[in-house]
């Protein structure tokens, strides 16, 4: 009897200790353990909004918002026609950096300020107040017009890229149409095949058509906004063939042959201009060296005292 009571007491105490241990186990440790196990199977812990924001580049977090704010202030004093002209140039350049006309105007102001500061520092190094004023003014003027030159270079490069890729795109269009594809499907095949400025324009036009814009209107807008005369003429030929019911395959073959002929003519013109372009480095660099080599010893002999 005594042994039975002792065993019951021991079992009761053991059960009591188990319940006390369970009651004292903090829920936070259990939650942390469960979270740790889930993180092993579920990947990394999701980032907070602050962490995601800090992972962005400094230019996106600080510089671009500041430029956009300055651009919004400048837009109030910029005429509508000037903004529209600048927007057209940015579209011709392919919208580098997704810049708006207001952003580009703000970039010009910022670069002008940076140029003025650099010119001021150069003037300080020279140690002359006149040079300081001149270098400051030149730095500000150069910084104000450098973005314009950069934008012009972007426009010219994009036009040249479109002009260069147009004959190849027309050849592929001819092949696709002869194979039985429709004109829109042929354009989509061109955008899948090439990755250049022309394919970007075609992709934009196809997206507008899929969103409900009339096809002829979208193609006409693409030809006009490209700034390339050959592409505009090609789109006008396609529009006329659609309006008059002419076979698109025949139009494409004629345009492809014409583009190839123009490319060959441009290559011949550049080859003919190469001789004239070589004259400047020859006269400025090669001939003086030859004169120095040939006449240098004679000049030294004549300058030697007798």
pLDDT exceeds 80 at position 11: no
Burial class (CB in 10 A: 0-12, 13-18, 19+), 138: middle
Q: Percentage of residues in the chain with pLDDT exceeding 70?
A: 74
What are the tens digits of pLDDT across the range 149-163?
998 998 888 888 888
What are the tens digits of pLDDT across the range 255-278?
888 888 888 888 888 888 887 778
- Token readout for 199 is 């394919």
pLDDT exceeds 50 at position 16: no
Q: Which of 96, 94, 97, 98 is nearest to 200 (CA)?
A: 94
282 half-sphere exposure, CB direction, 13 A CA radius: 6
Q: What's the chain's average pLDDT?
A: 76
Domain definitions of the chain by residue range: 77-156, 160-267
If you average pLDDT over residues 191-215, what whole number do you get? Answer: 87
What are the tens digits of pLDDT across the range 22-77?
444 444 455 555 556 555 555 555 555 555 555 565 455 555 666 666 666 666 66
- Alpha-carbon distance 284 to 212, whole Å? 60
CA distances from 270 to 222, 259, 261, 280 (A): 28, 17, 14, 16
Q: Check: pTM over 0.95? Answer yes or no.
A: no
Between helix 129-178 and helix 80-92 the angle, nearest 10°, is 60
Non-local (6+) Cβ contacts of 122 within 8 A are 131, 135, 139
Under CATH, what is the fold of the domain 160-267? Receptor-associated Protein (1.20.81)
CB atoms within 10 A of CB 173: 25
Dihedral in degrees, nearest 10, Cα atoms 199, 89, 63, 48: -30
If you average pLDDT over residues 102-115, what whole number do you get? Answer: 83
């Amino acid at each position: 009897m005594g042994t039975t009571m002792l065993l019951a007491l021991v079992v009761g105490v053991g059960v009591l200790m188990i319940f006390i241990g369970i009651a004292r186990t903090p829920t936070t440790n259990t939650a942390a353990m469960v979270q740790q196990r889930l993180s092993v199977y579920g990947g990394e812990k999701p980032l907070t909004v602050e962490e995601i924001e800090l992972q962005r580049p400094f230019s996106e977090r600080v510089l671009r918002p500041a430029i956009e704010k300055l651009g919004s202030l400048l837009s109030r004093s910029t005429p509508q026609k000037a903004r529209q002209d600048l927007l057209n140039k940015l579209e011709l350049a392919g919208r580098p950096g997704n810049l708006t006309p207001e952003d580009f105007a703000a970039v010009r102001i910022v670069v002008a300020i940076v140029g003025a500061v650099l010119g001021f520092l150069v003037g300080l190094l020279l140690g002359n107040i006149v040079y300081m004023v001149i270098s400051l003014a030149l730095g500000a003027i150069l910084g104000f017009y450098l973005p314009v030159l950069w934008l012009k270079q972007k426009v010219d490069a994009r036009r040249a890229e479109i002009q260069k890729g147009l004959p190849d795109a027309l050849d592929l269009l001819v092949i696709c149409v002869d194979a039985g594809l429709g004109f829109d499907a042929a354009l989509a095949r061109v955008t899948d095949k090439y990755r250049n400025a022309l394919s970007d324009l075609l992709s934009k036009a196809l997206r507008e058509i899929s969103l409900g814009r009339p096809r002829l209107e979208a193609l006409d807008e693409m030809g006009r906004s490209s700034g390339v005369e050959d592409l505009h003429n090609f789109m006008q030929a396609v529009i006329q063939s659609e309006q008059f019911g002419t076979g698109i395959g025949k139009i494409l073959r004629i345009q492809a042959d014409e583009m190839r002929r123009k490319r060959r003519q441009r290559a011949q013109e550049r080859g003919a201009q190469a001789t004239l372009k070589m004259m400047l480095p020859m006269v400025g660099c090669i001939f003086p060296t030859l004169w120095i080599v040939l006449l240098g010893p004679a000049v030294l002999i004549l300058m030697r005292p007798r």
